[in-house]
Amino acid sequence: MRRFALLLLMLCLPARADMTMTRELNAPNQLVPGQPVTLAVTFWTDSWFTPPPQWPEMVIENGSLLTTPLPNQLVTRKSQGISWSGIRMERKVMAWDRGQLRLPAIDIVMRSAGQPPKTLQLPALKKNVVWPGGVLQPDRFLPASSLQLMQKWRLYRAAEDQELHVGDVIERVVTLRASDVTAAQIPQLLYAIPGSGTQRLPPVNTPLTHGRGEITGAQREERLRYLPSAAGDLTLPPVRLRWWDTRQQIWQQAELPGARYEIGAPRTAGGEQALQAKAPVAWRALLVSGAIVAALLAMLIVFRRAFCHAIRFILQRIRTFWRPVPLPELTPVKRNKR
């Protein structure tokens, strides 16, 4: 009887959940300024979390915490016969200069419903940050795990011909796609050249996503319009970008070829004309429209009897609706003459 009462008393006692937290910095052996690394914080418990864990406040020296969203992960482990379940949260950290990326030791107070606060001490984390050999322009230094450079040319003419004259416009569109970078790290790619006026359009920065919306890099699109002011040859230079490959730990160079155009004298047209660029033919839209029209014609041929019957029925109902209905005479025909 005493054993049963003791067991019942133990079951009535409130459950005491144990909690802990770990912190780790996942960085390569050689870390360069501007290269993002992963900072992971894992909350562990042997029961459940109430309330759900939140990212703790922490100090980062010689670096900053990026706002790149990363999905949380559910993890498990077993230690000394006890099963632990955890929530792993990750954020990107970036060092902006050489030296040491350091996260000082901090005390974290973990709270759970119905339990007293528990104070944990997280040890300090540090990682050396060095510039790679051969850095010429630190302000244009671009570390990336992969990089792709593309360009397009658009010609705006005042007349429907194949020649360029003074007053026409040559637009150059350069697109850079890079992984493990932010849009603020990508340097300017297009510059003005002597002998021609230019018009720079605002660049368009777009994040690159993967999977469940995880941001993996950035895309930058620059547009520069060249405005020839004199007749003759116009040579547009190539675009060269030297970048640091963080996977292979070597320098790489991305290059786009330039172009040469023959600019004629100004046109002698008396009235001003709007510059027009010949738009590309949207073959896919034309094919889809043609397929839809063909399908409608085929359905009309196959179901022509049903269509004709439906049209005759509709016309008959319309005629019936608008047919005049004779009403009886309201005024008597024969009246007594006075």
- Where residue 173 falls among pLDDT bands split at 50, 70, 90? very high
Interval 173-186 mean pLDDT: 93
Instruction: State the DSSP code for 18.
Output: -
Report how far residue 101's alpha carbon sits from residue 59's, in angstroms, rounded to the nearest whole number.
Answer: 11
- pTM, rounded to two decimals: 0.68
Side-chain half-sphere exposure of 169, counting CA atoms within 13 A? 17
pLDDT given at position 61: 92
Q: Which residue matches tokens 């890079």?
A: 178
| Euclidean distance between CA atoms 43 and 109, whole angstroms | 12
Residues 6 or more apart whose CB falls under 8 angstroms from that of 87 comprise 42, 43, 49, 52, 53, 72, 73, 74, 75
Q: Which long-range contacts (CB under 8 A, 24 or more apart) does 191-194 make?
A: 191/224, 192/224, 193/226, 193/236, 193/237
Contact 205, 183 (CB under 8 A): yes
CA distance 77 to 80: 10
Please state, in angstroms and as integers, the Cα–Cα distance from residue 258 to each residue in 65, 172, 239, following that order.
39, 10, 7
The residue with greater pLDDT, 34 or 274, is 34
Structure tokens at 321: 């609706």
Residue range 69-88, pLDDT digits in tens: 788 888 988 888 888 888 99
Residue 104: its pLDDT value, please? Answer: 93
User: What's the residue count for the chain?
Assistant: 338
> What local confidence, expressed as pLDDT, does residue 229 receive?
85
Interhelix angle for 304-322 vs 283-302, to 10°?
A: 70
149-153, 175-179, 317-321: least confident range: 317-321
Give the tens place of pLDDT for each residue, 83-141: 888 899 999 999 988 999 999 999 888 876 667 788 888 999 999 999 999 998 888 89
Q: Quick check: 30 pLDDT over 60? A: yes
